[in-house]
Structure 1
Amino acid sequence: MAKRMARDKLFKDEVKNLEETISIINAQKEKELNAKIACDLLRLYFEEIAPGSLKRQLTLSDVVKAYKFAVEILEEKSEIEKKGAEPEKEPERISTLMEIKQAIEKPAKEEKPFTYVNKKGEKYYLHKKGSFYYFSKDAENAVPMPETHHVEENARTGMPIAKRNI
């Protein structure tokens, strides 16, 4: 009888250990799945939704922040589901994409293109090609003046020159 009770206790302990192991494995699988879903959501956003201008402006840190944000959202949603709360009515994929979009896209400032009027009264607009800034009379695709540059006027020709601050 004592052997049987000891065997039953040992069996119960083994079952408890197995359940704990299974819950740990399930938690790890859930984290891996959340990470994969976050990657898929970001890929979908950048390939299908994000405008081309945003793609060119993004840095690696922006993408990493968006990924971490997506993982946090997915983990919060899985915690809500574990607690038994009712899931949201809207489709999760669309709402998560919108949240990612809001986290990535910086509020658009109304930056006006930089214009310069020289001593002769001619109006020039600042343009950028790579890291090079130049002035042109063409207003199309003009850019705002960066804080890293200032304008000097060529005394002989009257052309403005964008120079880097020292």
Structure 2
Amino acid sequence: TVKNLVSKVSLLLVPGHTPSHPACSCKEILQLAPQSPSGLYWISGTDNKPKHMYCDMERSCNGVAGGWMRLASIDMTKTGSTCPSGLRTLTSPRRLCAKNIDVGVCSSVVLPVQGVEYSRVCGKIIGYQQGSPDAFRPTISHNIDSNYVDGISLTHGKSPRQHI
């Protein structure tokens, strides 16, 4: 119908639907077109190159509703899921990602922000302990850039990193 066609053309005027007209953020798309569904949109990076990013337009996190840009989605409960580079996949007793085998060595995963600036982080990480906790023994360095924790530490930036 003409009404549907007008609606689709109107959406194309909103930034984020084409690489030649990227949005600054997922939040911008949602503010300009509140009916926008979650999905892939074109977001402008700091290098002025558009990136095809997934925008979650429905999720509410800490009182902020929608407009979240997804950097990663690793759901090891789904068959066929793989761990990101830097981690190894375990399948027993359950499917999960684990650090490399070397004792006392950290395993890191860098989630690329694709040159897109952000001011908030929302997410969920579930961790499991295997073996013995040893990160806080006296011989271990206790600064944020060392292997100071058994488990998961979410940080950002370069040395010294900062906790999120």
* TM-score range for the pair, normalised by the shorter chain length: under 0.3
Q: TM-score, normalised by structure 1?
A: 0.24
Q: TM-score, normalised by structure 2?
A: 0.24
Question: Bigger radius of gyration, 1 or 2?
Answer: 1
